Amino acid sequence: MLSEVQKIKFEYLFNLYDANNNGVVEFADFSAYVGRFTELYELPEDSETLKQLNKTAEAWWDVIKANADLNDDGVVTIEEWMGFAERYVETLETYPDGAKYLTKFIITIFNVVDENKNNLISSKEYANFLFAWGVDKDVDLAFRKLDADGDHSLSEKDMIDLVFEFYLSDDPHAPGNHFYGMIPNEIFAEPPEEEVPTDNTITRIFKSIFK
Give me the residues that bind Ca ion (CB under 5 A), please: 18, 20, 22, 29, 69, 71, 73, 114, 116, 118, 120
Closest approach of Ca ion to the CB of residue 133, in Å: 14
Provide Rg for the chain, Cα atoms.
Answer: 21
Distance from C-alpha of 6 to C-alpha of 201, rounded to nearest angstrom: 47
Nearer residue to Ca ion within complex by CB, 22 or 203: 22
CB closer to Ca ion, 94 vs 116? 116
CB-nearer residue toward Ca ion: 139 or 174 = 139
Rounded to 10 degrees, the C-alpha dihedral 65/97/56/67 comes to 10
Q: Are strands 75-76 and 120-121 parallel, antiparallel or unpaired?
A: unpaired
Q: Among positive and negative, which fits the CA dihedral 100, 130, 20, 54?
A: negative
Q: Least distance to Ca ion from the beta carbon of 28, Å?
A: 6
When the beta carbons of 112 and 182 are compared against Ca ion, the nearer one is 112
DSSP letter (8 states) at residue 25: E
Residues 144 and 72: their CA atoms lie apart, in Å, by 41
* In the complex, least distance from residue 73 CB atom to Ca ion, rounded to whole angstroms: 4
- What minimum distance in Å lies between the beta carbon of 146 and Ca ion? 14
